[in-house]
Amino acid sequence: MAANSTAANSDGPPVGGTANALSKGDPVEVFYRFSQDSGGYFPVALPIAGSLRPRFGRTDGWIQAAVWEDWPPMHGGEPLKNEPVVVRHTHPYWSNREGEKLDPASERDMVVRVPRRDVRAVPREPPAVALSLLVVRWGGEPTLFNEEQWGAASASVTDTYIAAFIDGAVYECLGPDFEVLSAFVQSAADLQALSPGMALYTFTRYAVCVIRST
């Protein structure tokens, strides 16, 4: 999965976590960011979700994990608080747009490094987020677009375009205080199969924006 997030000392809004020390084994929640996962995997609610059409899952948002190494690491007796936190995802179900699943027992897929701002103690109840997004995106074979013609953000049907908006606007402004549910569609039948109840049940709060990039 290789879901390593951006640098831990990146500028931005208030962090999800604080500078409190973390110990190996501590249960936590981490802010998962789909754009940082080179394998294109995302957490899904049920083990069969990766086999359904359209594929549907939380591509950005808080998920369960455990601290894998004590934080902050020490060097010369001094705490390195700008270093990322090493965590192990404990959410059991993962899929990509092709319906391929991850083995949750695999350390290679589950152990990642995330910024301290994207790690928080497990809340008693999931707090409402500032913004919920439902993104309807292309789930078929990616198409390469000429950057000189389309620009750095590429065409609206690409992951590059969506990442430019989510990372460059939403995460930049809100930090880890939003969530994204994505539906990966390949046909009109997939669009017709989308259920509003599916999204509303999964959101931390009701959606306030829907993005269609197909």
Whether residue 205 lies inside any domain: the answer is yes
The pLDDT score that the predictor gives to residue 214 is 53
Q: Among positive and negative, which fits the CA dihedral 36, 113, 49, 98?
A: positive
The pLDDT assigned to 40 comes to: 87
What are the 10-residue block averages of pLDDT along the chain, 214 residues in total?
Answer: 43 52 96 90 82 85 96 90 95 89 88 95 89 84 62 67 90 94 86 70 53 53
pTM above 0.85, yes or no: no
9 lies in some domain: no
CA 59 from centroid of its chain's CA atoms: 4
What pLDDT, on the 0 to 100 scale, is given for residue 109?
87
Residue 70 lies in a domain: yes
Domain count for the chain: 1
Q: Which two tokens stand for residue 80?
A: 């390195």
Q: Are residues 56 and 181 in contact, defined by beta-carbon separation less than 8 angstroms?
A: yes
For residue 165, being part of any structural domain is answered with: yes
Q: Output the pLDDT for position 91.
A: 94
Does 1 reside within a domain? Answer: no
> Is residue 139 a part of any domain in this protein?
yes
Return the half-sphere exposure (C-beta side, CA atoms, 13 A cut-off) of residue 5.
28
> Does 128 fall in a domain?
yes
- The alpha carbon of 194 is separated from its chain's Cα centroid by a whole number of angstroms, namely 21
Residue 120 belongs to a domain: yes
Model pLDDT, residue 25 = 96
Domain that holds residue 170: 27-212
Q: Do the beta carbons of residue 202 and residue 49 sit within 8 Å?
A: no
Which CB contacts under 8 angstroms, 24+ apart, belong to 159-163?
159/35, 159/40, 161/213, 162/35, 162/135, 162/137, 162/211, 162/213, 163/34, 163/35
Q: What is the pLDDT of residue 2?
A: 47
